[in-house]
Amino acid sequence: MNTVAAIDPRHAAGQRLRERAFRAATFVAAVLVLLLLGGVALSLLIGSWPAFSHFKLSFLTREVWNPVTDQYGALAPVYGTLVTSLLALLLAVPVSFGIAIFLTELAPVWLKRPVGVAIELLAAVPSIIYGIWGLFVLAPVLQRHVQPWLIDTLGPLPLVGRLFQGPPFGIGILTAGFVLAVMVIPFISAVMRDVFETVPDVLKESRYALGATTWEVIWQVVVPYARSGIIGGIMLGLGRALGETMAVTFVIGNAHRIGSSLLAPGTTISASIANEFAEAVGDLYTSALIALGALLFLITFSVIAVARLMLLRLARKALSPL
């Protein structure tokens, strides 16, 4: 049947037509991915235009956020976004590094997979779950046990002391950073684990043969080799933390101001949008919130782009290891 069909010219023409149609369909879908990103950027630009043209550059430098008088500035949410994300990295990077080392260099084979999967499941838990857990479980614990201790021991110190003064609210910048840290640990440790596994065994074994301990091999061979991958993983975690919405909305306290203390309530870009957007009345108010979204897009886009380029560099190196 097929031999006859193959020399039937009508059949061949039909095949060519289907080939072209299928190819075109995959091409259109692939280009759609590009258009999505372009569409997102364009719609944010258009939506934020009224706010940017009204407030000009002062939108970026003012702390005021007052829907009644229609005055908006992005400083407090931008500050909150950056500080919570940096706090999250400060807490999450050492833990993720430890997990990646445990999974690649230390764990016996039978333990690797279950522990690895359990850490990955931490990433599958939806962010709203982190939110209610943070608000009802973590915040009270921090308020009762951790924050009073921070206030007593770090509060009186010069310079850094200001960060740890004031009443222990439970919710606030610090708690948001803590929840974000738990959320980004699985992302950072997964990337670190993968890049540690690209280190050629020959390199590690040579160092072992010279009498190095496991830790020395990790610190002197694995880490330098995988450096750009490690940075890429950290940046990827940063990208996650910057854009995370629901978990932060629950625990940040939603106050449009910049407190000198990390214990004080604050807000982030995504939390402001989540809280206020559906109820925003007036074109300027809506536009100001979309302008916040545009800023967030700009920040996360650059962070993620750098992260991907770093990881790409390591992938190229892995192709030609020595």
Partner 1 sequence: MSRRAVRKVTNLVALALSGLATAIGLFFLGAILWTLLRNGLAGMSWQLFTAMTPPPAGSGGLLNAIYGSAAMTVIGILIGGPIGMLAGTFLAEYGRAARLSTLIRFVNDVLLSAPSIIVGLFVYELLVVRMGHFSAIAGAVALAIIAIPVTVRTTEDMLNLVPQGMKDASTAMGAYHWRTITSVIYPAARSGIVTGLLLAVARISGETAPLLFTALNNQFWSSNLAAPMANLPVVIFQFALSPYPNWQRLAWSGALLITLSILVLSISARVVVSSLNNGGRR
Question: Binding residue for partner 1 (CB under 8 A) from 186, 229, 253, 266?
Answer: 186
Choose, by CB under 8 A, the member of 13, 90, 106, 202 that binds partner 1: 106
Alpha-carbon distance of 186 to 123, in angstroms, equals 6
146 binds partner 1 (CB under 8 A): no
Residue 94 beta carbon to partner 1: minimum distance, rounded to whole angstroms: 7
Residue 71 sits at φ, ψ, to 5 deg, of: -110, 125
CA-to-CA dists, residue 304 to 111, 120, 159, 237, 280, angstroms: 32, 20, 33, 9, 30
Binding status of residue 175 toward partner 1 by CB under 8 A = no
Q: Using the rule CB under 8 A, is 137 a contact of partner 1?
A: yes
Contact by Cβ (8 Å): 300, 243? yes
Among 32, 157, 160, 202, binds partner 1 (CB under 8 A): 32
* Residue at 74: amino acid letter: A
Residues 236-255 that bind partner 1 (CB under 8 A): 236, 239-240, 242-246, 249-250
Contact flag: residue 230 with partner 1 (CB under 8 A):
no
Is 218 near partner 1 (CB under 8 A)?
Answer: yes
Q: Taking CB under 8 A as the criterion, which residues in 49-88 touch partner 1?
A: none
Q: Answer for the pair 106, 193: CB distance below 8 angstroms, yes or no.
A: no
Of the candidate spans 54-62, 146-154, 184-192, 195-203, the one that interacts with partner 1 by CB under 8 A turns out to be 184-192
Residue 250 CB, nearest approach to partner 1 (Å): 7
# of chain residues touching partner 1 (CB under 8 A): 92
Asked if residue 278 binds partner 1 (CB under 8 A), the reply is yes
Closest contact distance (angstroms) between CB of 5 and partner 1 is: 10
Rounded CA-CA distance 307/315 in Å is: 12
Q: Which stretch binds partner 1 (CB under 8 A): 90-98, 144-152, 169-177, 195-203?
A: 90-98
Cα–Cα distance measured from residue 322 to residue 316, given in angstroms and rounded to the nearest whole number? 12
Secondary-structure breakdown of the chain: helix, strand, coil percentages, each rounded to the nearest 5: 80, 0, 20
Q: At residue 40, what is the residue type?
A: V
Choose the stretch contacting partner 1; rule: CB under 8 A; options: 57-65, 134-142, 153-161, 190-198: 134-142
Q: Give just the sign of the alpha carbon dihedral 296, 302, 304, 305.
A: positive
CB contact at 8 A, 259 and 166: yes
One-character DSSP codes across 84-116: HHHHHHHHHHHHHHHHHHIIIIIS-HHHHHHHH
Determine which residue in the list 131, 155, 229, 253 makes contact with partner 1, applying CB under 8 A: 131
Smaller CB distance to partner 1: residue 121 or 157? Answer: 121
**Is 305 a binder of partner 1 (CB under 8 A)?**
yes
